[in-house]
Structure formats: structure tokens, C-alpha cells
Amino acid sequence: MTTDDNEAIVKFENVGLRYGLGPEVLQDVTFSLAPGSFHFLVGASGAGKSSLLKLIYLALKPSRGLISLFGRDIATTPRHDLPPIRRRVGVVFQEFRLLNHLSAFDNVALPLRVAGVRKSEIQKYVVELLSWVGLKDHLDARPPTMSGGQQQRVSIARAVIARPRILLADEPTGNVDDRLGMRLMHLFEELNKLGTTVIIATHNNRLVERMGYPRMHLDEGWLEIVGGSRSGPAQPASAAKENGATEGIDPAQTGRPDWEKLI
Amino acid sequence: MFASRSDLPLDRDALSRFLPWLIAFMVFLAVLAMAGVLVLNTIAARWDKGITGTLTVQIVPADDPSKDDERLQKVLKILAETPEVDRFETLGDDKLLALLEPWLGTGVGVQDLPLPRLVDVELKPDAKLDVEALSRRVEARVPGVSIDDHSLWLGRLVRLIRTVEGLASMVLVLIVLATVGTVVFTTRTGLTIHRNAIEVLHFIGAQDSYVASQFAGRTLILGLKGGVAGLLLAAPTLWGIGFMARQMDSGLLPDITLSPVHWAALAGLPVAVALIAMMTARLTVLKTLSRML
């Protein structure tokens, strides 16, 4: 879903990306996403899906073009101002990127700790969310002792714990069965209804067809946005705000994220 | 300033095993160097004061020993008439023998040797005595008397001590620089080892200072551990050196005991080194991370 430039939560203009002196993996990518929109990012392996996500979560700088997040031009944003922007972007990494020396609880708690949320609140939110993703009995488990699916759920919990304004997920259902996969997609949908912009990179065409949201299709570095059967944001941004969607990620300010409601 | 818990597994890498030992060694050397500086400073200050405030009058034995007492009384009379002189004291035979003991040993009788008579003179504070004029005045009335204001040899000795003290201070500075260099190296190594975890912290919105605090806190703890170990090793060494010096009891060595203030300063050294290590780690992390996106 594209939108007016003024409203865009993510805006790319003629963005190109190359690694070193290699060919451009992304070429003249131009799009803007409205707050509260839901998109699937699809394309063959090596089409540049992960690279596009990395540009959005500020892990890479574009070789050319302009990227703005939440109305701020990233190229001219001082380094010190980037962390608050990153806190508004939740990421589910394809390879999970959990910290192996920390427990599931501590991994999920990290975004809240970094944001300075009180310990008592962290305890409440994290236990609630891990319970919801079925890991109540694994709070103290270290990632290396967990299965791929369990690690993926910890990774998803870490990405959503702080109620980000944008959620990026790279193959989030790759390691879980269909039932749990749909349950996680339901979580993303519910977050989207609360105003979170969601982009999910996936190879699962069945899932994409079934959910019917617009697709950002990448083909050899070129992007095309294809409307789905459910066009537009899952819920208008204004309505999302009325439902409690907020600008920041601090649950201390936004109120208790009621995960039970999201089931 | 530093986080109480660590999101990075810093206690599992080489940094944690290597750094305390190195800091212990550095603090051990630093404590010895600093103790040397403190003792030398005390000695130099004491001797500096001695130069300006004292004289020794030496009355060489005459051919006729029976006149020595008469000559001594004349000298004492002149000293008593000199306004700059605060007090004077003729060294007794026992003190003379004690001074000569390192060279002659015990069991030597005064009567066996033609010893000079020595008068220890203390001047009034801030008195400006013309030693040359006093020498001429004494020599005119009592030939064979010399006055030594110690300035020549004591001045050289004080300069030598000041030089050694300067060298010890330089050693102290070099130890600190070596510690800083080591902490920079180990911190950079830690940043490389934990790059993946640091990236994750960044992606979830951690400021550079948050990551730096993790390194700084860990380095402070390691620095304190190593520093205390170094101090515990250095303390008995210093005590042993002091003990050996006291055993010599020759009168040649000045009193080299450390005062409570000195011990307090030495005890503060591990804390100072740990704080320097902590600040170094923090600045190293901030500088390195500033080059990342």
C-alpha cells in the first residue's frame, strides 16, 4: 500500500544498494508505506528481500537514493538520534539472532531494558508474552537448548514486546508448523490492527494468498507493489490511534500491552 | 556510569582471564615505583631542609692535645656571639665513635685515635648566615678549624635523589600508559568477538553508551580484582625491603619507612588504575562504535 509522502511511515526514493563493487542488488526502489499497512515481501531467493529489510531496520546504508523513516531523512539524521528510531522498528531475523548466553526471558526483555522500562513491568510483560507464544515453561532456557521453532517464537516475542510502529519479519513462519504459523500471523494481524505497520518477507505463497494482503514483489533488485484482495491498511491509521496505537515503544508510556487480547 | 548486569558475555572471553593478571602485575610495579617516589621525596625534602639549616664545625686535633679543649671553648664562644645561630652542640665521644663505626667497627677507644672535635650547629629559621665570613673569623682566632655547611655534597645528593625520583615517576607514567594500551587492545578484541551481539543491541535501539557501559563496568570489576591482587603482592614486598633496610642499621641509610598517608596513597592506586581502565574501555568502545552505522 503506497500513500501520500506526508503520511508515509517508510519512504524509499530511487534507492540503490550494492555490496562493495558488486552489482546493484536493489535498483531504483521507490515506495512509501502508510502507517498501519500490512505487506508481504515476496520474491525469489537472492532477489534482495533481506537487503531491503536491512535498509529499513538501519543495518545498511543505501548506495544511493533517499530513505526516510517516520518522516526523518536517515542520511541526515545524527547517529545519536538513530537508536530512538530503531526502537520503533521490531525485527524478526531469519536466523533469529538471539543472544545465546541469555535466557529466553532475558532475550525478550532486552528491548524493554534498552528503553529503560522498570524491572517490575518487564517481568510482567515478558512472562505474559512468552506464555502466549507457548514458552511459559522455557523462561530460563538458553537458545542453544531450544528447538528452531522455539527460538523463532522467542525471536518474534523480542520483536513485538515493545509494541513497535513497524514490524519487519524475515521468514517468521519458516520453522513452525502450519497451526502455530497461522497463530503467529494472527498475532501480526492483531498488532497491525493496533496501528503497527507490518512487512513480512516470505516464500510461503500459500500463506500470502490465504491472507490476501498486498505484496511487495522483488525481482532481481526491482520492486513492484501488487495489491492483494485486502487492499489498504488492516485498519485506518486514525482508527488505530483511537484503539491505542502510539508513537513510541515504551510500554510504560503506552500502557500495558494486553497480549491476551491478541490471541 | 556502568551497568550492573551484562547483556554481552564478556566474562567468558579472553579479556576476563587475561586482564586481571596484567593489571595485577602493573599495579605491583606501580606500587613499588610510587613507594620509591614517596620515600625519595621524603628523604630529599628532609635533606633539602638540612642544607639550609645546619652547619658542622670541625676542630682538627692540635699537635698538643691539651690545647684542644681551650680551642673548642673559643669556637663555642664565637658561635654564641653569632646572632644567626639558634643552638649548637658538641658531639660527644660516643656519637663520634657511632659515626665512625661503619668504617672502624666496634671496640675502638677514643684515646687510640686523634679524633677531631665536632660541633653541630643549627641556625635560626630563615637566617642568612655568611658562612665564608664566619669561617674567616673563626680561623683568625682558632687556626685549624673548618666549617662545613654541607651544601656541596648534600646538594649533589639531593639532585641525585630528585633525578631518581623523576625516573620513578616516569616509570609510573609508563605503567599507566601500558595499562591503557592493553585495555584498548583487549576492548577492541572484545568488540570484535561480540560484534554479533552488539549489532543485535543496536538493532533493538541501544545507544552506544549502553554498550560502552557494559564494557566499562566489566573492565572496572576486572581492574579492581587485578589491582587488589597487585597491591596484596606489593605490600609484603615493600615490608620486606623496609625490613632489610632496618636490619642493616648502619646509619648510612636514612629512615625509609612509609607513613600512614603514604600507605593510604598506595592503597588508592588499584582504584585509580581500575578507574583509568574503565574510562579507557568506555572511550574505546564509543570511538569504535562511532564508525558503525
Contact B201 A110 (CB under 8 A): yes
Q: What pLDDT does residue A86 have?
A: 94
Does position B281 have pLDDT exceeding 90, yes or no? yes
Mean predicted confidence (pLDDT) in B72-94: 86
> How high is the mean pLDDT of chain B?
84
Q: Which residues of chain A have pLDDT under 70?
A: 1-6, 228-263
The one-letter amino acid code at B53 reads G
User: CA-CA distance, A100 to A219, in Å (whole number)?
Assistant: 35
Helix axes B14-53, B151-193, angle to 10 degrees: 170
Q: What pLDDT does residue B252 have?
A: 55
Of residues A28 and B131, more confidently modeled: A28
A·B CB contacts under 8 A:
54
The phi and psi torsions of A246 (rounded to 5 degrees) equal -130, 170
Q: Nearest-CA residue of chain B relative to A250?
A: B205
Q: Name the residue facing A111 among B197, B199, B204 (closest C-beta).
A: B204
**Contact in structure between A218 and A45 (CB atoms under 8 Å):** no
Neighbour count for residue B250 (Cβ, 10 Å): 9
Hey, what's the cell of A238?
Answer: 486514525
Q: What pLDDT does residue B108 have?
A: 67
Q: Nearest-CA residue of chain B relative to A97?
A: B200
The region of weakest confidence among B8-22, B38-52, B186-200 is: B38-52
**Which pLDDT band holds residue B39 (cuts at 50, 70, 90)?**
confident
Is any Cβ of chain A less than 8 angstroms from the Cβ of B287? no
> Which tens digit of pLDDT belongs to each residue from A8-59?
899 999 999 999 888 989 999 999 999 999 999 999 888 889 999 999 999 9
Residue owning grid cell 699537635: B63
Q: What pLDDT does residue B159 have?
A: 85
Q: What pLDDT does residue A246 have?
A: 35
Neighbour count for residue A161 (Cβ, 10 Å): 28
The region of weakest confidence among A102-111, B40-49, B81-90, B165-174 is: B40-49
Q: Name the residue facing A61 among B199, B207, B293 (closest C-beta).
A: B293
Q: What pLDDT does residue A257 have?
A: 47
Mean predicted confidence (pLDDT) in B99-105: 75
State how far residue A236 is from chain B, nearest Cα, in angstroms.
Answer: 27
Does position B225 have pLDDT exceeding 80, yes or no? yes
Q: What pLDDT does residue A258 have?
A: 52
The one-letter amino acid code at B37 reads V
**Which pLDDT band holds residue B111 (cuts at 50, 70, 90)?**
low
Contact A84 B210 (CB under 8 A): no
DSSP assignment of A194-215 equals TT-EEEEE-S-HHHHHHH---E
Q: What pLDDT does residue B145 have?
A: 86
Is any Cβ of chain A less than 8 angstroms from the Cβ of B290? yes
* pTM strictly above 0.80: no
Of residues B212 and A181, more confidently modeled: B212
Q: Nearest-CA residue of chain A relative to B290?
A: A79
User: CA-CA distance, B181 to B187, in Å (whole number)?
Assistant: 10
Of residues A191 and B181, more confidently modeled: B181
Q: What pLDDT does residue B51 have?
A: 65
Which of A130-134, B245-249, B279-283 holds the top average pLDDT? Answer: B279-283
Q: Nearest-CA residue of chain B relative to A163?
A: B204
State how far residue B265 is from chain A, nearest Cα, in angstroms.
Answer: 38
Percent of chain B's residues with pLDDT above 90: 33
**Contact in structure between B212 and B280 (CB atoms under 8 Å):** no
